[in-house]
Copies of this chain bind each other. A is one copy, B any other.
């Protein structure tokens, strides 16, 4: 009986197929596929055990490489971020992995460490691996993706606030978000509102700076002091020290990321000033960390899960020949205590 063929015998007559496994386990080939791929349909535990047993006995290996060659797909997406240990990107990558898995794609992760040469090397590696698409949070506004275009690999740029013609991109309306936060600080009666702005290499004025300025102008208020330091905890700490030392010390500060705000809070605590009593703070991102700082941060929340799904959907669309487009998402203000609310 064919289903009793031993593994050794199998080996001499070519690789074991999904059909062999199905016959041995007494199930359909579709069921074998569900077990191997973990879906899309559920399989009863007893049936799954039979299939796993057949896979073990027959020494079946689904052979992803052969499948990739056959279908012209590695069923893999690549994600390049500056630093996965930045809470915004770790949250985002978790959401991307969920969205990719839902469609049967695995996620290859790489960090550029904010270094352009490393970013390009990562992209080249992903192209060489023939991933089905690349999600890129670039250090540049218009990165060089020729190596992906040459290999017909679709891409989507993350964290883009403006349309980069010819690119698929997603982002939030930074200016509108920042406006909300600054208007909220104004509603608490502040008239001297400083800005702890992150630094970027693009040379463009960041929408968060634009939104801060517009909110002040519309309220007829002068611009408070601005300092530029990296989008990091140490960057925010330095920004806080400098803003507190300014001649015209602000009574409220808008920080352009939660991580900067966390560093800034430390500088204010160390200076012995109360938050929000003497210095009110609002920030941007809506990370989990912002909820557990002291005091908890009022912050502009980015819709991370929705953006991750949209980014993966954009890659799928691109592979179907859809034209590149820029997708922009709204933010919302998450009010906690750092702004002065009870």
Question: Chain A interface (Cβ within 8 Å of chain B)?
Answer: 35-39, 52, 55-56, 59, 61-66, 68-69, 74-76, 83-85, 87, 90-91, 93-94, 97-98, 101, 106-111, 121-122, 124-130, 146-147, 150-151, 233, 237, 262-263, 265-266, 269, 288-289, 291-296
Contacts and interface: CB of A to CB of B under 8 A. Distances in A.
Contacts of A63: 130
Contacts of A66: 65, 69
A132 to B, nearest CB: 12
B130 A64 contact: yes
B288 A263 contact: no
Contacts of A69: 65-66, 69
A104 to B, nearest CB: 9
A291 B83 CA distance: 18
B94 A150 contact: no
A90 B101 contact: no
A38 B125 contact: yes
A25 B319 CA distance: 30
A95 to B, nearest CB: 9
A180 B151 CA distance: 54
| Most B-side CB within 10 Å, residue of A39, A106, A111 | A106
A84 B97 contact: yes
Nearest to A269: B294
Nearest to A130: B64
B266 A121 contact: no
B266 A124 contact: no
Given A65-B65, A84-B93, 15 more contacts: A55-B150, A59-B150, A62-B128, A62-B130, A65-B68, A65-B130, A68-B68, A76-B129, A85-B87, A85-B94, A97-B109, A107-B109, A233-B288, A237-B292, A265-B294
A288 B83 CA distance: 13
A87 to B, nearest CB: 7
Nearest to A60: B150
Contact of A36 (B55, B68, B124, B296): B124
Nearest to A106: B108
A262 B74 CA distance: 41
Contacts of A93: 84, 109
A266 B101 contact: no
Contacts of A288: 85, 233
B87 A84 contact: no
A274 to B, nearest CB: 12
For the complex of A and B, the 8 pairs showing the least CB-CB separation, nearest first, are A38-B121, A65-B68, A90-B90, A64-B129, A62-B128, A85-B90, A109-B109, A233-B292
A150 B35 CA distance: 15
Contacts of A296: 266
B74 A84 contact: no
Contacts of A130: 61-65
Contacts of A85: 87, 90-91, 94, 288
A121 B172 CA distance: 33
A94 B93 CA distance: 12
22 contacts: A37-B124, A38-B121, A38-B122, A52-B147, A55-B147, A56-B150, A62-B130, A63-B130, A64-B68, A64-B128, A64-B129, A64-B130, A65-B66, A66-B69, A83-B94, A94-B111, A97-B110, A106-B126, A109-B109, A262-B289, A269-B295, A294-B294
